[in-house]
Chain A
């Protein structure tokens, strides 16, 4: 919306002659907006950037989906303690949001994603996977049902071409609404309490993966109980122009609960502790993988992937039915390596044979150990594994081989994350 249209000039409105067909129109409406050439701003920012950059004490930034976002705002340890002990607020606007609407929206999505959506109620969300014809994963995300014939798919990367191609024969409208929608992620055990104080009524009665419209300080906000932290958490979807006000209001109301802003590094760490793979990091979309080994099937990435094989027709269905019968060649597993200090982990070894790669690795404060998500050959999973790591001390680099074991449970998975009603205190 241009400033001219947001605040129409009232004197000009009085001059409009209703009988005149050639009505006077604000010419600014039809002026071609100069398009900024893509190369001119390699720093692409979210609507919350100015606000968040004021919070940065470290000047550490990173790139996420083409946007410049804070990596760490104050201190990763402090942010982590807030996440696990109180609540953190982060800007997740770079996620790709696609709106799917139309008479055939449900049928279309049943075709697109692998799981059955017939139980998905309005104002509910569900994690989904979608595959191409050979059963390789294109992406995964969260699907929200906003109305009878309206959905929103939130993914890490854009899939517009595939989604448009799959829509042939369906009466649906597919739009990328990423730029019109900001997303604030409020995660942590006290996040419900923060929202209650910010003015959301009955927040504790919002079930996991449910969503509702709320009024926060006069702003319409879509609140969903979702998130990738393995704990209680909410995501708030708001208009880009409201987002900064929403951020400020949440920060001021949540102050007493210890709410802190957090950056991208904490999101990655929480995701790693919750053992959730991320597209572009732990696997490549089948359309982006130049080497075919970089793409993966859902059975390799998730131990119990959300696939309804008895659904009659869906993209990749035939290949997935074939793949479901045999054990996957490799598996994405969460490994823990016994070493106290943070070490950069890289290759998974079985004896001396490389059997996999650590795709995401980090130091988990919850376990006090180095953990990693790694794609490992299935045949090696029964034997003893080790991880190669590197530690720098001064100028010297130490190459380490650390004994590793597979974690059966994620490093952080709290019952309160799925408790109903949600806990308002610790």
Chain B
């Protein structure tokens, strides 16, 4: 029987990161995926001949620098484009853009309010301070290390000491950020509804929270996680790999192959062999068995446990715990190919911020109403639309003169109050988004070459992501850090020995791209080192 040190199920971004880390550490690694090409939800899709874009994701975002450096990805052809932070277009024709340059950013805010332009300095300081508190939590597993009774006690006392040493104002600030709704948190800095809606819209993408839901303020810090810079800097920037997420996938693939790992496509894992709560290997759909010392699952937590194992083999209570993990789709994906560059007459000509994406958003109360609709499973009436046109930054993604447009439509229920999505409802959603796009870019509808709507259900059926939830489990505070995917985990290890979860279902989830994969690989390598010592 074929045997490997580690098998990674699912060639998604995190699975590939995990496999690359393991392969570079000298382990024999096999990546299995049922699709014909690697990439998982980041896989590339030709929506029309020559028009390439990621099928399920928006296509912006990059790996954290430490993973890029550890895996030596630049040597394998990975380059990033650093774009401005993006534009928000409001229904009245107003727009608000983000700029990296501090002076330009403040002047942009001053178009709405000069007081807000000054308040941005304090907002930026607080966001960067919070990002610095979060960074160590996101850099590795979130589980407290147990080093015996006294060491653990000391560590806890040290933590309590750190908290009590914080200035009351700082502690208050952190608590506000962790518990308040984004709308109230922003009210304490800004007065302009446009400035507040711009910041809230960027933070709410992918959340199962509305801007007025408690704890949604914590999401405001997400764009700042990788930002550093001087005191008077501007807004965070948007990263995009040259060639889109496909370039990320191919660079990772090349790292794995160079380090002696293997990828096998069109190989669906149907079962995981288990003995004494220890994973032994996997069974493929064609009946082939492959043995492994460790198995990594890049699937979401529900699929990992509920579809790969015999439930009777799982430890008691696990099925129930996994069942209780909340995974609900919030977004639909639209892929549009255009045969001409879209024109945005409402935006100033040559606005560099457009490269970072375009958000069609309303002011915060309307955004919250869209969220309330989602909770009531009403088809979206006034959705939040996040548009990214990667071909602005990288023209190679579309034929000469053409453009590809990715749109995530936020607050789309997976099932409607009346039942599943019908063909009319689906068409109505597509039309609504096209109408909204045509409002900011008149005439865009005439240039559409291809148009495709993927509802949460489609995403689940095609790629196997439960509920079509791009976050692999809701990112509310009860499902983050040491509660991710379920209480007492906080890392890649699972109740089963040698079975690791390397999808964003595990900590740090979707907050750090590739973070879950790197954590999972680090967990196995640490276990191996410990084994070698004893």
Contact = CB atoms under 8 A, between A and B. Distances in A.
A38 B121 CA distance: 17
A400 B108 CA distance: 44
Interface stretch (B23-31, B96-104, B153-161): B96-104
A164 B104 contact: no
A284 B231 contact: yes
Contact of B111 (A35, A134, A176, A280): A35
B167 A290 contact: no
B118 A159 contact: yes
Contacts of A280: 231-232
Nearest to A63: B103
Contact-residue bracket for chain B: 20 to 34
Highest count of chain A CB atoms <10 Å: which of B104, B118, B119, B132? B118
Interface stretch (A8-16, A39-47, A182-190): A39-47
B89 to A, nearest CB: 14
B228 to A, nearest CB: 9
A419 interface: no
Contact of B115 (A161, A284, A288, A290): A161
B99 A38 contact: yes
Interface in A254-289: 280, 284-285, 287-289
Given A39-B352, A287-B122, A290-B128, A134 B169 contact: yes
B151 interface: no
Contacts of B116: 161
A161 B118 contact: yes
Contacts of B117: 158, 160
B198 to A, nearest CB: 14
A38 B104 contact: yes
B351 interface: yes
Given A160-B118, A161-B118, A280-B232, A289 B99 contact: no
A133 interface: yes
B4 interface: no
Highest count of chain A CB atoms <10 Å: which of B125, B128, B348? B125
Contacts of B121: 161, 285, 287-288
Interface in A1-56: 35, 37-40, 42, 44
Contacts of B167: 134
B232 A288 contact: yes
A35 B111 CA distance: 9
A294 interface: yes
Contacts of A134: 167, 169
Contacts of B128: 290
Interface in B111-141: 111, 114-119, 121-122, 125, 128-129, 132
A421 interface: no
B107 interface: yes
Contacts of A42: 101, 103-104
Given A39-B351, A160-B118, A66 B103 contact: yes
B382 interface: no
A279 to B, nearest CB: 10
B353 interface: yes
B223 to A, nearest CB: 15
B103 A158 contact: no
Interface residues of A, number: 26
A238 to B, nearest CB: 22
A164 B115 contact: yes
A158 B97 CA distance: 21
Contacts of A38: 99, 104-105, 107-108, 111
Given A280-B232, A294-B231, A44 B103 contact: yes
B474 to A, nearest CB: 30
B231 A288 contact: yes
A161 B104 contact: no
A162 interface: yes
A161 B119 contact: yes
A251 to B, nearest CB: 30
A289 B128 CA distance: 10
Contact of B231 (A40, A158, A289): A289
A118 to B, nearest CB: 28
B192 to A, nearest CB: 12
B125 A287 contact: yes
Highest count of chain B CB atoms <10 Å: which of A63, A158, A289? A158
A38 B189 CA distance: 22
Nearest to B102: A66
Contacts of B122: 161, 287-288
Nearest to B189: A161
A287 B118 CA distance: 10
Contact of A162 (B118, B125, B169): B118
Contacts of B350: 40
B232 A160 contact: no
B125 A39 contact: no
Highest count of chain A CB atoms <10 Å: which of B104, B105, B129, B351? B104
Contacts of A162: 118
A420 B101 CA distance: 46
A162 B123 CA distance: 12
Contacts of A294: 231
Contacts of A37: 108, 348, 351
A284 B232 CA distance: 10
A158 B120 CA distance: 11
A160 B125 contact: no
Contacts of B115: 160-161, 164
A160 B353 contact: no
B472 to A, nearest CB: 31
Highest count of chain A CB atoms <10 Å: which of B129, B231, B352? B231
Given A159-B118, A161-B118, A66 B111 contact: no
A288 B231 CA distance: 5
Highest count of chain A CB atoms <10 Å: which of B105, B111, B122? B122
Contact of A290 (B114, B129, B353): B129
13 contacts: A37-B351, A38-B105, A38-B111, A39-B104, A39-B348, A39-B353, A40-B348, A42-B103, A134-B169, A158-B117, A160-B117, A161-B122, A287-B122
Given A161-B121, A287-B121, 17 more contacts: A37-B348, A38-B105, A39-B97, A39-B104, A39-B348, A40-B348, A158-B114, A158-B118, A159-B118, A161-B119, A161-B189, A280-B231, A288-B121, A288-B232, A289-B231, A290-B132, A290-B231
| 8 A-B pairs closest in CB distance | A37-B348, A38-B107, A161-B119, A66-B103, A287-B122, A288-B231, A161-B118, A160-B118
